[in-house]
Amino acid sequence: MADNLNWQNSIEYSIRYKKLPPESYFYKLKSLDVGHSDQNILVVGCGDGKLANYFAKQGCRVTAVDISQDYIDEARLLAAKEGVEVDYQCMPAEEMPLDNHSYDVIFVHQALKHFQIPQFLIEAKRLIAPGGVLVNSEIRRLPRLDIVAKKSDEIVLRYNTRWEHYDFHGQVYAQPAWSQPLLFVKAMFFYDEQIHYNKDEWIGRLKASNYISGTLSKSKLVDFEDDMKSMLADIPNEDLDIRHRISVHIFQFK
C-alpha cells in the first residue's frame, strides 16, 4: 500500500456511515456489462464489504481482498448477516496469490489512491480473464458547488494539513495519467448526484475517512466532531443533500 494510515480507527465509522453508491451507478455499470450474474468479480481494497456483498446479491461470483485483516473480519460478519457468499481474503493489492486469468471484472472503488499502482497493474493484468475489464470508480464531494461540502473540507484541512483532496475542482479526465502505459479506456461516465445524510451521518461519514479517524488522536477526533457540529448548527435543516461527482472508468489492458 502507498500510505501509512491506521485502518483500525476508521472501521467503526466506515461500517456505520459509508454508503453504497446510488442505484443510478449500478444501473449505468450494468448497461456497460459490469455486474451481470454470470461474472467472476474481484473487488480490490474492499473495505467493509458493502460493495462486494452488493455484487454477490446480483448473482455474481465475488472474491474480495483488503490489506486490513480487521476490515476482512468485519466484511465476513456483514456477509453472513446479509446471507451472501463472498470469498474474503486478506492481502495487499500489489501481491494477490490468486489464480491467473480468473476474473471477468477487477473492481476498485475509492481505493486506488492507497495502492502502489504500477505493482497493482502487474497483478491485475495477470489475474484478469481474456476480454475482462478493470473498473476504477470514485465518488467525491464538490466543495466548489456545495457550501456544506466546502465548509466541511475547510475543517478537514484544519485537522489534517496533509490531506490531498481539498477543494476538488470536479474535473474528470477521459484517460487518467496513471492508466496510460498499460490500459485503454473501453468506456467511462461521470455525473453529479445529491447524496442524502442527516447531520450526524455526515459527521460520521467524514470521520470514516482514513485521513481523519486514521490519523487523528481520540481527543483531536472529539475536537473535529465539535467543530463540525458547530458549523452545521448554522444550517436550519437536519437533512443534508451533499452534491457529489461520481466517475467510473472501465479499462482493458493493451
Determine, yes or no, domain membership for 2: no
Contacts for 22 with CB less than 8 Å, ≥ 6 apart: 193, 195, 246
Whether the predicted model's global pTM rises above the 0.95 cut? no
Tell me, what's the pLDDT at 8? Answer: 66
Determine, yes or no, domain membership for 38: yes
Name the stretches of the chain with pLDDT < 70: 1-8
| Listed residue (45, 58, 57, 56) closest to 18, CA to CA | 45
- SS percent in the chain: helix, strand, coil, step 5: 40, 25, 35
Tell me, what's the pLDDT at 64? Answer: 98
Contacts for 156 with CB less than 8 Å, ≥ 6 apart: 163, 166, 206, 209, 211, 212
pLDDT digits (tens, 9 = 90+) for 131-190: 999 999 999 999 999 999 999 999 999 999 988 888 999 999 999 999 999 999 999 999
| Listed residue (142, 141, 127) closest to 206, CA to CA | 141
Determine, yes or no, domain membership for 171: yes
Tell me, what's the pLDDT at 214? Answer: 84
CATH code of the domain containing 91: 3.40.50.150
Tell me, what's the pLDDT at 7? Answer: 58
Determine, yes or no, domain membership for 1: no
pLDDT digits (tens, 9 = 90+) for 94-108: 999 999 999 999 999
The DSSP call for residue 48 is T
Tell me, what's the pLDDT at 1? Answer: 43
DSSP string, 189-236: EEEEEEEEEEHHHHHHHHHTSTTTTTTS-HHHHHHHHHHHHHHHTTSS
Tell me, what's the pLDDT at 228? Answer: 98
CA Rg, the chain, in Å? Answer: 18
Return the residue matching grid coordinates 459527521.
203
59: containing domain: 7-253
Tell me, what's the pLDDT at 2? Answer: 45
Number of domains in the chain: 1
Q: How far is C-alpha 227 from the geometric centre of its chain's CA atoms?
A: 25
H or E segment at 12? helix 7-17
